[in-house]
Structure 1
């Protein structure tokens, strides 16, 4: 079980690392249309994962524990939104195609703040993997190890383009390929860390698992609505981003239905 947990926790980080490695072989800038599709695809993955892998299991688990099923789902979801809103307000970061930093004022370079923006929305992804595996370890839950694995794979799939989206713009901003790759990898380190911390805490207090599941869902939806979808809809060819959302949603829905 420990080895299974380690593999599941590291899968999303592997996706980010492999995506970041594209900068080592790329000579050109990332195609804007491809970037829009990737951002939309990541959004679709996260929306589907939030529903099938987190919110629905949260309600099922609450019902099994004799709790009104929509209470943990609603409370946890709103707390997850609030948590990311707080982080978004205090952590200095810079979104793609923007020169206006967000969060508290800082003297950090634009490249560093670009990495922090991606790191910020990797936090709920790590939490989601950690909490689903914690739930799978509980004998009285409907979540299986296969379900936790499918979620990790789905997040890794959407992390691959995200890794490229962070490392390639860093190279375009003048950073050498090796450093851009390292920065892309570092943006994903928070995922296994967040997964382990969430796993340990949730395992100690099993009664709050339904809240943790919906909390992770809220945090992921915040990232989708605040960052990914708006960035995929900017400028021309916004329909490509929409197509990406649809494809990503279906991919994650199939993964969760087949292995969840």
Structure 2
């Protein structure tokens, strides 16, 4: 059950990347805005219902200070992603100037595009790992069904992410379909790896599980605020991204409550 749950988000990325075999051109800009907004909504809802609220519930014995683990973990999650953004060289889709520390031998554009998506998949893998860890170690605030709901929600939002990385590699960089697919799918491979590492670490430091839940939430929210929402709001028809956000948020909220 746990193994399948850890692989479901990776499956979402892989299926999205496979669209490169069936679509000739890039995703329509309006559709891409909707998908980016949708992914944002899923991640925000997951951060609140699957991570921050359980973190505060686990700390209820602290009384009025039950918010402390959630607040501290959240800020540390933001700080961690900010650090990775500064250290890891990467290039966002549609951008011309790379971000992060650039090595003396500059990486090629394809590698930096994949690193950008891989970087943002790390917090999703951590989030999955920490909720499964909470379920494994018997915390009443987190069930296996709730953890599965998070896996499914992240897999749904990973589907467009896989396409958004593989299709530009094919159309803009003249890469073969097979290679573009491998790059797109590979960008999601970090999620199960990050999830397993998080579970292993949690078995050692169970007392700080509420902090880890909030940490994963902060890292995911950083991605939403720093990248997804700005990209969904660029240019005309930004309301399409807003509608996508609402739909994604509602679906993730329903999944969490119905299955959790």
| TM-score grouping bracket, smaller chain normalisation | over 0.9
For residues 4-15 of structure 1, the aligned pairs below 5 Å read: 4-15=1-12
Match of 1:77 among 69, 74, 79: 74
Which of the numbers 43, 60, 63 marks the counterpart of 2:60?
63
RMSD, aligned α-carbons:
1.1
Task: After TM superposition, give the deviation of residue 68 of structure 1 in Å.
Answer: 2.6
In 1: Cα distance, 2:123 partner to 2:109 partner: 23
Query: Residue deviations 1:184-203, cap 9 Å, x none?
Result: 01100110000000011112
Alpha-carbon distance, 1:111 to partner: 1.4
Which residue does 1:216 correspond to in 2? 216
State the Cα deviation string for residues 219-260 of structure 1 (Å, max 9, x = none).
000000001000111111111111111110001000001011
Q: In 2, distance between residues paired with 1:195 and 1:170?
A: 27
Question: What residue ranges of structure 1 are gaps of 5+ in the alignment?
Answer: none
Q: Give the superposition deviation at 1:66.
A: 6.7
Equivalent residue number for residue 42 of structure 1: 39
The alignment covers a number of residue pairs equal to: 257
Partner of 1:130: 129
Asked whether 1:153 is paired with 2:144, we answer no
Gaps of 5+ in 2: none
Distance 2:139 2:55 in 1: 13
**Alignment-derived partner of residue 242 in structure 2:** 242
Indicate conservation of the 8 Å contact 1:12/1:191, yes or no. Answer: yes
Aligned counterparts of 1:203 and 1:8: Cα–Cα separation in 2: 18
Q: Matches of 1:118 and 1:140 in 2, distance apart?
A: 32
Q: Show CA shifts across 1:127-158 (max 9, x none).
A: 00000000011224310000000000000000
What are the Cα deviations for residues 55-81 of structure 1, in whole angstroms up to 9, with x where unaligned? 000000111577931000000000000
- TM-score scaled by structure 2? 0.97
CA distance in 2: counterparts of 1:21 and 1:40, whole angstroms? 21
Between stretches 106-115 and 59-68, larger displacement belongs to 59-68
Normalized against structure 1, the TM-score is what?
0.97
**8 Å Cα contact 1:96-1:231 kept in structure 2:** no
